[in-house]
């Protein structure tokens, strides 16, 4: 399979490359024999260019129109080609899912390198030695980006929380490994198992390079494994910090070897030990200094934003090089440089620079990694391998064995000090994750081998290192993922913290530090507290351009991030915020749309003229809706002005929640434009609701016990009832709306797509990224089938069901249980309806009519919006209290707006996969509906409508009460065809009518295009049997794993689904 | 004082405390020393003032709250050694196998909850949350901004829409937080 991919994708490319290699080899024969390596190009490049130049100068007979300047560009050209080739390889791997699932990327790249190596070997044997990983290239160019990325994106908190344990593993562990492996190898050499003669120092040199866990390999493998953060940081931190030990041991043993064993005195060991401290501390210090320097420089870059990223890269690279100049640990320097600078740099630079840094860093490290692994594979193809099976197998065994022993011993030691112990399974993964990699290889080819005997020794070491690296990367790298699954290692639970979690975490930080103060021990909480204090007092004033206003920027930052994210999600799912831009004024907008919508009431043609994008409006335009009741008959200009006045006056209300007016929170980013500010201030309340709904969902999913059922999906926010939030993501809310709609939207005029992966994620992890998005699109050209009056009646009847919920703050609206409200409210509604109050055009059609539940607009906010959108929009939300009369009005409006069978509205709510409308001909249904209309459902029936949720089942989509709907598992192209619409009745409905949870199984293949009259009649019959029938089910198309998406309900359905 | 006080703690008492809290003998002795060092008046119990005298705690932004939560158990103004140890037992690391209810996740969360819950009505109100936020975030941020944060926090957690966070809701909101890890302190053996 692999070769297939390679062939298809890369074969032409390989040939092309080969052609170039040979050309270049032929043209610069002297260089080819000199055996340069591809990537150590600098001096070679200049030599080459100089000669070529000289060569050309000899024959300047005529002016050449064009000439071949291959030498001039050869090196960069080849490098670029390699990079390109490696990137193609990366793309190719990820095109093949199966391959990528089994193999970690690093394995595939090594394989690719091997294959290319073999091809080159056979095609152009004379150049094969040129393409190996050179140590200089590796340490100077390829390694720093990877390590910088590692340091910069280091999870600082867990790193420093576990720094003791990490250092223990990195220092003691590596020393232990080195000496044990070295001694053991010497043992087998002494036993005569190995043909090549080696002394103790040779063994120690080799063991010093082979015993260190490699950060590149660890990163490549663990990135895909997603173990919990502590485990990850233990392995990865170790691999970073053991660099100093490796450097010291390696150079010390090499030096000792050069000096000769007989000349080594005790003082040399002492010096070696000292040098360890100097190298590690020196490296760290250099890193810290450069990091602080970088932070300091970025303090002054606000006028040269473009080069901000440059400082980060160049200065961290300089920290690496500086450390190398002094022979310190460059890895430690650059890691600490990254760690230190990040916090301050990010506060200083612009958002764009931040993004640039992030992606550029990731890109660099990714391509470095790719090249490293590919060249590892490539370097393995060579003639000079010295195979000594005993030595190789023993080395491999010792590596694994002592790694395990070391981890177990050191963990026992570490657990003595740790509050949270490292358990057995984690120890196993730590031992198993001790991958070796390119650092070992680069070090081993650095060994000087002037004599043939030494050459032999070196080649044996190189071969053995290769095998160990390949073994760890392939065998361990490939099996670690299944093992992690099998052993049920605690996984990382990565999510952006919610507000509550962040506050809680910060609270804990402080209180744990406090508790440590009380018991008088100085744990890491204590030191963190000290550091934070120092940071606040000295570092921040020095390094930050603008001092944070608060003592705790993290909380504010999270809040800002959450708001931005909500806004982004909202824009993504619901269209854009720019919808009003260019409409000039509100009046214009109203006028234009009103005229359309008046027509639109009886002809679908004008309906469709209303752009879909309109569904995206969410800027709390419901304030207009509040006044919209006035525009009872027709929308004309005069009235609109009046309407606007009303809106304005209503905005003046002093509001209890005036605090929303300045929802502007700590904006760190100066560049963030006014518009953006405005945007997330304005939406934030609304979005919060959305988010909350999802949180609730996630929470409910986790909660096993049934929660009574007093929390409706509707939220009353500060005195203004939120009937529903007209957001796509509020499935439950909308589902219920649909449900209340009595199955009347039949014929499936709109399909709503649910993107399953997101749902899955949402539900399986309670994750907060990526909401459920819906796409609505009309599948029906006519709206004739929609019976508007019937709909309205139905909606009116059911409206109170979903309109009532508890108020958060307003006693007036508090705790009105749905049944009672229904009885009162419904009759009230009916009266209204009989009075013949038709929904106004505006009510029906203007999108913001939906937002009756939204609070009012503040005057100031409105002005701001005018500035941006040219209309008196809504920026902040200042909810106003409303009495029951108003409530009724809102309810009515809500209902009216529901009458609009516009695709736009449906899409906005995005509640169902498809909603069946009543077919035009179904008079029975209509009659029935009309009759139902006059009935009042007695309270006991209502109670039965809302049975307590049985604790045993999960209710993912939270508090949908009277009617539930559920997602239908579908195959891949959910919602794509009208065949995947819902059916109109539930076959098993009568069986559990006591629940009155109407639901059924929907199998894609069983679904019908449109409900026919037969099914409608069946539904009617059911109704006549005394059940609350005609409850349509809202069907969401969903991924296969129904349990995740399911919003359910009854045992039968659960069983059925699970058996599907 | 230290040696004298450790004698004052009888073996039976230590055993009793050990059983109840899960601390080791040495840990209890150590804590007893600490207790006596904090007990400036040498009267066998700690008052709030004794706690406030700890310099680090005095500058801890949440120092007051920590003390408040500490005293939450006894409800009176003093804390004897047993109560002191019992509260601290909450922060013992959760270990596999040992089912000590004092350091369970729930107990840990209860302590945190108490830090929010000033009036002790087992609900976190917006004002209570705001107060905590002010302590942590500082006075420079306007109350309105903090109010937004508080609102959002409540909205996230508030399952029954009553504008208050009950303990159950609080636990629910912290579902994904590794409380066991975060609320564990290493006690010297």
DSSP letters along A70-106, please? HHHHHHHHHHHHHHHHHHHHHHHHHH-HHHHHHS-HH
Confidence of residue A101 (pLDDT cuts 50, 70, 90): confident
Confidence of residue B76 (pLDDT cuts 50, 70, 90): low
B177 DSSP assignment: S
How far is Cα B6 from Cα B36, in angstroms, rounded to an integer? 9
Q: Which two tokens stand for residue A729?
A: 């993501």
Q: Looking at the complex, does the CB of residue A937 fall below 8 Å from at least one CB of chain B?
A: no
Residue A722 has a pLDDT of 37
Inter-chain CB proximity A508 and B133 less than 8 Å: no
A120 exposed, middle or buried (CB, 10 Å; 0-12, 13-18, 19+)? buried
Q: For A419, what's the count of Cα atoms within 13 Å in the CB-facing half-sphere? A: 25
Contacts of B31 in chain A (CB under 8 A): 519
A166 or A453, which is more confident = A166
CB B109 within 8 Å of CB B171 = yes
User: Which alpha helices (DSSP H) does A40-69 contain, by range?
Assistant: 42-57
In the beta sheet, which residues pair with residue B46? B79
Inter-chain CB proximity A501 and B185 less than 8 Å: no
How far is Cα B6 from Cα A1050, in angstroms, rounded to an integer? 62
Residue with tokens 């906005």, as numbered in its chain: A908
Confidence of residue A536 (pLDDT cuts 50, 70, 90): confident
Highest mean pLDDT among A254-268, A477-491, A518-532, A723-737: A477-491
CA triple B48-B50-B54, angle to 5 deg: 110
Contacts of B72 in chain A (CB under 8 A): none
A1004 DSSP assignment: G
Residue B144 has a pLDDT of 79
pLDDT for A287 beyond 90: yes
Residue from B47, B87, B39 nearest B185 by CA: B87
Provide CB contacts within 8 A for B123, sequence distance 6+.
B117, B164, B165, B166
pLDDT for A709 beyond 80: no
pLDDT above 90: percentage of residues in chain A: 12
Provide CB contacts within 8 A for A329, sequence distance 6+.
A243, A244, A247, A279, A280, A282, A283, A284, A323
How far is Cα A575 from Cα A579, in angstroms, rounded to an integer? 8
Average pLDDT of the segment spanning A587-591: 49
Q: What is this model's ipTM?
A: 0.89
**What is the three-class DSSP state of A254?**
helix
Q: Which two tokens stand for residue A195?
A: 């043909």
Average pLDDT of the segment spanning A719-745: 37
Instruction: Name the average pLDDT for chain A.
Output: 62
Q: Which of A517, A550, A659 sits opposite B144 (nearest CB)?
A: A659
pLDDT for A906 beyond 80: no
SS3 sequence of A127-152 = HHHHCCCCHHHHHHHHHHHHHHHHHH
A2 or A132, which is more confident = A132
Residue A792 has a pLDDT of 38
Inter-chain CB proximity B188 and A523 less than 8 Å: no
Provide the CA A885 distance to its chain's centre, in angstroms. 45
Inter-chain CB proximity B183 and A664 less than 8 Å: no
For residue A161, the distance in angstroms to the closest alpha carbon of chain B comes to 10
Residue A748 has a pLDDT of 36
Please say whether the dihedral angle defined by the alpha carbons of residues A990, A992, A994 and A995, taken in this order, is positive or negative: negative
Selected for mutation to probe chain A from B149, B167, B187 (highest A CB count within 10 Å) is B149
Residue from A646, A642, A653, A597 nearest A626 by CA: A646
Highest mean pLDDT among A241-255, A607-621, A691-705: A241-255
Residue A445 has a pLDDT of 85
Each residue's pLDDT tens digit, A160-173: 888 989 999 999 99
- Chain B residue whose CA is closest to A526: B56
Contacts of A520 in chain B (CB under 8 A): 34, 37
Q: Which of B66, B112, B172 sits opposite A504 (nearest CB)?
A: B112
Highest mean pLDDT among A32-36, A393-397, A977-981: A393-397
pLDDT above 70: percentage of residues in chain B: 87
pTM (two decimals): 0.58
Provide the CA B105 distance to its chain's centre, in angstroms. 13
Low-confidence winner among A92-106, A308-322, A343-357 (lowest mean pLDDT): A92-106
Residue with tokens 């390590």, as numbered in its chain: A147
Inter-chain CB proximity B160 and A710 less than 8 Å: yes
For residue B152, the distance in angstroms to the closest alpha carbon of chain A comes to 7
A212 exposed, middle or buried (CB, 10 Å; 0-12, 13-18, 19+)? buried
CB B148 within 8 Å of CB A684 = yes
Residue B189 has a pLDDT of 64
Residue from A459, A366, A437 nearest A129 by CA: A459
Selected for mutation to probe chain B from A229, A233, A500, A806 (highest B CB count within 10 Å) is A500
Average pLDDT of the segment spanning B128-142: 79
Low-confidence winner among A72-86, A277-291, A323-337, A661-675 (lowest mean pLDDT): A661-675
Residue from A499, A482, A437, A438 nearest A133 by CA: A438
Contacts of A519 in chain B (CB under 8 A): 31, 34, 88, 185, 187
A7 or A362, which is more confident = A362
Contacts of A508 in chain B (CB under 8 A): 112, 182-183
Residue B75 has a pLDDT of 62
- Chain A residue whose CA is closest to B157: A500
**Phi-psi region at A275: left, alpha or beta (left = phi > 0; alpha = psi -120 to 50):** alpha
- Chain A residue whose CA is closest to B185: A419
Provide the CA A809 distance to its chain's centre, in angstroms. 35
pLDDT for A916 beyond 70: no
A8 DSSP assignment: I
- Chain A residue whose CA is closest to B124: A500
Provide the CA A582 distance to its chain's centre, in angstroms. 34
In the beta sheet, which residues pair with residue A514? none
Provide CB contacts within 8 A for A661, sequence distance 6+.
A858, A860, A861, A876, A878, B144
How far is Cα A569 from Cα A567, in angstroms, rounded to an integer? 5
Residue from A131, A113, A109 nearest A37 by CA: A131
CB A722 within 8 Å of CB A716 = yes
How far is Cα A762 from Cα A772, in angstroms, rounded to an integer? 8
Residue A693 has a pLDDT of 60
Q: Which of B34, B137, B185 sits opposite A555 (nearest CB)?
A: B137
Q: Which A residues 417-446 touch B at CB under 8 Å?
A: 417-421, 423
B177 or A278, which is more confident = A278
pLDDT for A180 beyond 90: yes
Q: At what angle do helices B81-89 and A499-519 cross, to 10 degrees?
A: 140
Q: Which of B37, B54, B115 sits opposite A507 (nearest CB)?
A: B115
How far is Cα A873 from Cα B119, in angstroms, rounded to an integer? 41
Contacts of A562 in chain B (CB under 8 A): 152
Q: Which of B37, B176, B187 sits opposite A495 (nearest CB)?
A: B176
């Amino acid at each position: 399979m692999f070769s297939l991919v390679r062939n298809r994708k890369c074969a032409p490319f390989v040939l092309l490359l080969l052609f170039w290699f040979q050309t270049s080899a032929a043209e610069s024969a002297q260089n080819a024999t000199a055996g340069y390596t591809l990537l150590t190009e600098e001096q070679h490049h200049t030599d080459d260019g100089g000669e070529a130049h000289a060569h050309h100068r000899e024959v300047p007979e005529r002016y050449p129109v064009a000439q071949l300047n291959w030498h001039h560009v050869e090196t960069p050209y080849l490098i670029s080609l390699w990079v390109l080739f490696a990137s193609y390889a990366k793309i190719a791997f990820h095109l093949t899912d199966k391959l990528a699932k089994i193999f970690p990327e690093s394995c595939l790249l090594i394989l690719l390198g091997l294959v290319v190596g073999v091809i080159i070997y056979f095609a152009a044997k004379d150049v094969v030695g040129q393409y190996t990983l050179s140590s200089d290239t590796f340490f100077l160019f390829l390694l720093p980006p990877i390590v910088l990325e590692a340091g910069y994106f280091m999870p600082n908190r867990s790193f420093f929380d576990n720094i003791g344990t990490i250092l223990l593993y990195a220092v003691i562990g590596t020393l232990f490994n080195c000496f044990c492996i070295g001694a053991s190898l010497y043992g087998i050499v002494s036993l005569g198992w190995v043909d090549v003669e080696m002394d103790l120092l040779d063994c120690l040199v080799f063991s010093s390079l082979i015993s260190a866990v490699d950060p590149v390999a660890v990163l490549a493998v663990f990135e895909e494994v997603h173990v919990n953060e502590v485990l990850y940081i233990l392995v990865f931190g170790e691999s970073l910090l053991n660099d100093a030990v490796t450097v010291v041991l390696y150079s010390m043993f090499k030096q000792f070897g050069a000096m000769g064993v007989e000349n080594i005195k005790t003082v040399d060991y002492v010096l070696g030990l000292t040098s360890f401290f100097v190298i590690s501390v020196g490296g760290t210090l250099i890193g810290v200094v450069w990091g602080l320097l970088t932070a300091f420089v970025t303090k002054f870059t606000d006028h040269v934003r473009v080069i901000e990223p440059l400082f980060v890269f160049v200065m961290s690279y300089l920290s690496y090089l500086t450390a190398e100049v002094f022979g310190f640990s460059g890895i430690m320097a650059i890691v600490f440089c990254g760690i230190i600078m990040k916090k301050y740099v990010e506060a200083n630079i612009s958002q764009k620079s931040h993004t640039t840094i992030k992606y550029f860093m990731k890109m660099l490290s990714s391509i470095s990694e790719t090249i490293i692994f590919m060249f590892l594979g490539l370097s393995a193809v060579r003639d000079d391998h010295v195979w000594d099976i005993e030595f190789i197998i023993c080395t491999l065994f010792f590596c694994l064995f002592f790694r395990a022993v070391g981890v177990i011993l050191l963990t026992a030691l570490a657990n003595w000090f740790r509050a949270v112990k490292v358990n057995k399974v984690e120890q196993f993964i730590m031992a198993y994750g001790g991958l070796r990699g390119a650092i070992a290889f680069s070090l081993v080819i650095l060994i000087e081998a002037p004599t043939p005997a030494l050459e032999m020794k070196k080649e044996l070491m190189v071969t053995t290192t290769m095998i160990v690296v390949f073994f760890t990367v392939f065998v361990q790298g490939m099996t670690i993922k299944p093992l992690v699954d099998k052993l049920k290692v605690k996984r990382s639970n990565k999510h952006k913290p919610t507000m509550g979690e962040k506050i809680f975490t910060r609270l804990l930080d402080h209180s744990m530090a406090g508790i440590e103060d009380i018991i008088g021990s100085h744990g890491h909480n204590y030191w963190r507290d000290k550091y934070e204090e120092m940071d606040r007092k000295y570092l921040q004033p020095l390094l930050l351009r603008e001092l944070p206003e608060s003592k705790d920027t993290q909380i504010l930052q999270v809040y800002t991030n959450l708001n931005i994210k909500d806004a982004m999600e909202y824009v993504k799912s619901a269209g854009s915020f720019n919808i009003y831009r260019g409409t000039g004024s509100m009046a214009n907008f109203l006028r234009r749309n009103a005229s359309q919508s008046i027509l639109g009431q009886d002809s679908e043609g004008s309906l469709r003229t209303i752009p879909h994008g309109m569904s995206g409006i969410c800027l709390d335009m419901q304030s207009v809706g509040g006044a919209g009741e006035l525009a009872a008959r027709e929308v004309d200009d005069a009235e609109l002005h009046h309407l606007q006045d009303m809106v304005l006056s209503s905005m003046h209300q002093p509001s209890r929640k005036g605090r929303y007016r300045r929802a502007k929170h700590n904006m760190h980013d100066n560049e963030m434009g006014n518009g953006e500010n405005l945007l997330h201030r304005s939406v934030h309340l609304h979005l919060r609701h959305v988010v909350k709904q999802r949180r609730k969902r996630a929470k409910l999913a986790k909660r096993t016990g049934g929660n009574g059922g007093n929390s409706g999906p509707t939220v009353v926010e500060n005195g203004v009832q939120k009937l529903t939030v007209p957001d796509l993501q509020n499935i439950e809310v909308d589902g219920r709306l649909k449900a209340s709609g009595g199955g009347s939207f039949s014929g499936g005029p709109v399909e709503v797509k649910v993107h399953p992966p997101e749902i899955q994620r949402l539900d399986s992890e309670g994750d907060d990224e990526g909401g459920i998005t819906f796409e609505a699109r009309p599948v029906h050209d006519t709206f004739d089938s929609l019976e508007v009056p019937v709909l309205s009646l139905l909606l009116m009847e059911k409206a109170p069901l979903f309109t009532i919920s508890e108020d958060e703050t307003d006693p007036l609206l508090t705790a009105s249980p749905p049944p009672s409200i229904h009885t009162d409210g419904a009759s009230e509604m009916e009266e209204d309806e009989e009075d013949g109050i038709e929904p106004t055009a505006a009510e029906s059609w203007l999108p913001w009519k939906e937002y009756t539940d939204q609070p009012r607009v503040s005057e100031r906010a409105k002005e701001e919006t005018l500035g941006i959108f040219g209309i008196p929009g809504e920026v902040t939300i200042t909810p106003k209290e409303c009495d029951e009369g108003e409530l009724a009005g809102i309810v009515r409006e809500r209902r009216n707006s529901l009458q609009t069978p516009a695709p736009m509205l449906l899409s906005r709510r995005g509640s169902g996969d498809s909603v069946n409308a009543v077919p035009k001909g179904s008079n029975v249904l209509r009659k029935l509906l009309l009759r139902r209309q006059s009935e009042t459902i007695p309270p006991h029936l209502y109670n039965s409508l809302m049975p307590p949720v049985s604790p045993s089942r999960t209710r993912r989509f939270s508090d949908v009460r009277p009617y539930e709907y559920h997602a239908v598992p579908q195959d891949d192209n959910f919602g794509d065809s009208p065949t995947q619409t819902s059916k109109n009745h539930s076959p098993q409905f009568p069986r559990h009518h006591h629940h009155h949870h109407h639901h059924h199984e929907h199998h894609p293949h069983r679904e019908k295009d449109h409900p026919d009259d037969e099914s409608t009649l069946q539904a009617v019959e059911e109704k006549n049997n005394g059940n609350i029938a005609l409850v349509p089910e809202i069907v969401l198309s969903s991924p296969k794993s129904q349990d995740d998406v399911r919003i359910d309900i009854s045992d039968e359905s659960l069983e059925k689904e699970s058996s599907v | 004082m230290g040696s004298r006080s450790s004698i004052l703690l009888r073996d039976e008492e230590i055993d009793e405390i050990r059983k109840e809290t899960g601390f080791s003998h040495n840990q209890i002795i150590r804590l007893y020393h600490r207790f006596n060092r904090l007990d400036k008046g040498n009267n066998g119990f700690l008052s709030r003032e004794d706690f406030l005298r700890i310099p680090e705690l005095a500058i801890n932004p949440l120092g007051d709250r920590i003390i408040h939560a500490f005293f939450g158990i006894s409800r009176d103004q003093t804390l004897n050694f047993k109560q002191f140890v019992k509260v601290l037992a909450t922060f013992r690391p959760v270990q596999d196998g040992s089912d000590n209810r004092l350091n369970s996740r729930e107990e840990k969360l209860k302590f945190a909850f108490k830090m929010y819950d000033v009036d002790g009505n087992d609900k976190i109100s917006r004002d209570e949350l705001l107060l905590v936020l002010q302590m942590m975030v500082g006075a420079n941020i306007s109350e309105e901004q903090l109010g937004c944060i508080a609102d959002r926090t409540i909205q996230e957690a508030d399952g029954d829409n009553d504008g208050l966070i009950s303990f159950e809701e609080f636990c629910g909101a912290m579902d994904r937080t590794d409380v066991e890890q975060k609320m564990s302190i290493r006690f010297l053996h």
